[in-house]
Structure 1
Amino acid sequence: MPGNGTKPYLIRAIYEWCVDSGYTPYLSVVVDVNTRVPMEYVKDGNIVLNLSPSATHGLLIDNQWVRFSARFNGVSRQLEVPITAVAGIFARENGEGLGFEVTVSATVDQEDETPPEPTKPPSKPKFQIVK
């Protein structure tokens, strides 16, 4: 198996920087067939998730997955995001962070679960592309 890329390490580093600096880490995700998130919150094939310690339980960022549970409308949900689907991680307060190229399996549409047209990442955060 080829070595791990830098992406999961950079995600963990920006997460730690956000938490250490008192910022709220947000994860931008392109939803694909392997992504387990509340589909009712997916918009245009993307979702942005709050990863702050107060918003998540059991957060694990390993070399393949970002896994945690979080509450949506008071209901606890287990989320699983493949590292390949992460478009970026940034601080909510100032938009600083990193953006990544996304390599995903077929994306899903939350209404009929058919692959939508390719989408571009959210435009508000200013990401830096890391290869």
Structure 2
Amino acid sequence: MNALDSTSTRPYLIRALYDWCTDNGLTPYVAVAVDDTVQVPREYVKNNEIVLNISFDATSSLKLGNDFIEFKARFAGSAREIMVPIARVIAIYARENGQGMAFPLTAPASAVPQSAPDPAGHSSQSLLPANKAVEEPAAGPGPEAKIVQLVPANNTASAREDDPAPPEPPKPAQGKRPSLKRVK
């Protein structure tokens, strides 16, 4: 069996990170790219994405299978059955510290081009709340034709020289104590 014929590592990594979160008392969250194959409450979907708490306390009948993540959960007091194809999971991470893993969004087999360009390879990093996902093409053809690279939101390396510098925060007056203003 060669690497192209083997099963995806995604469901195994999701289960491993789920176990790591629960073993360390953390809350596992999954970020899901929503399309017609995903069964989630549509009223909670924003920008075709939803973040789901898959902790033991938030779900019942949780099954982390090789093809689907299935469970029952309550949304606004009503029980809902959730079914997410593994290929639509774009990240799993701990709510408390943001540590986890991001995955490339896989395209259907018919939508993947047969000849993809061969740019320099990039790797996934841990998912932190201050980061944003940037999709870049991956090397070679296949069902996972893109990888996700997380970069800091304040990436100054890509800033152009003619862009104005951000304004400097005001400096406190000398000898005066700072005070808080209560806003109601």
Q: Work out whether the TM-score is over 0.5.
A: yes
Greater relative contact order, per chain length (Cα 8 Å cut-off, separation 6+): 1
Structure 1 residue 61 and structure 2 residue 53: aligned? no
Following the alignment from structure 1 to structure 2, what is the Cα–Cα distance between the partners of residues 73 and 55? 12
Per the alignment, in what secondary structure is the counterpart of residue 35 of structure 1? coil
1:74 aligns with 2:72: no
Matches of 1:37 and 1:124 in 2, distance apart?
Answer: 23
Give aligned pairs, total: 114
User: Shift of the alpha carbon at 1:52?
Assistant: 0.6
* RMSD (CA atoms): 2.4
TM-score normalised over the length of structure 1: 0.80
The structure that has the greater radius of gyration is 2
Q: Report the alpha carbon displacement of residue 3 of structure 1 after superposing the two structures with TM.
A: 2.7
Once the two structures are superposed, residues 75-128 of structure 1 have per-residue CA deviations (whole angstroms, 9 ceiling, x without a partner) of 0000000000000000000000000001256xxxxxxxxxxxxxxxx9827589
Structure 2 regions of 5+ residues with no counterpart? 109-126, 134-146, 150-184
Identical aligned pairs, as a percentage?
Answer: 46
Code of the aligned partner of 1:82: P
- Tell whether 2:20 aligns with 1:17: yes
Change (3 A) 1:32 1:125: farther
TM-score by length of 2: 0.57
Please, which of 35, 39, 43 is the counterpart of residue 40 of structure 1? 43
1:104 to 1:66, Cα distance in 2 relative to 1, 3 A: farther
Unpaired stretches in structure 1, ≥5 consecutive residues: 106-121
Runs of 4+ with >6 A deviation: none
